[in-house]
Amino acid sequence: MSLILVQLAEFLAVDLDELVLGKEKDLHQSAKTLMNRWQFVARYWWLLFAIGGWLTWFIPRIVHAFH
């Protein structure tokens, strides 16, 4: 039974205490989540160039269509 709970906690990416006892995340966990967001930005920063390039192509065409 305990192995199933541990596997379920790992699958849901929560602490075992949070899964079993229903304890909310503490401040340390919030800082960990914030760090994960920064890691996401650090990993996918290049998407800003792709989105920016697409917007510089798309916005003038929309403006031109309504003039």
Q: Give the model's pLDDT for residue 10.
A: 83
CA atoms of 25 and 12, how far apart (whole Å): 14
Give 8's pLDDT tier (boundaries 50, 70, 90). confident
Q: Give the model's pLDDT for residue 1.
A: 67
CA atoms of 26 and 55, how far apart (whole Å): 39
CA atoms of 36 and 32, how far apart (whole Å): 6
Q: Give the model's pLDDT for residue 56.
A: 94
pLDDT tens digits for range 21-46: 777 666 565 566 666 777 888 888 89
Please write down the HEC assignment for all residues of the chain.
Answer: CHHHHHHHHHHHCCCHHHHHHCCCCCHHHHHHHHHHHHHHHHHCCCHHHHHHHHHHHHHHHHHHHCC
Q: Give the model's pLDDT for residue 7.
A: 84
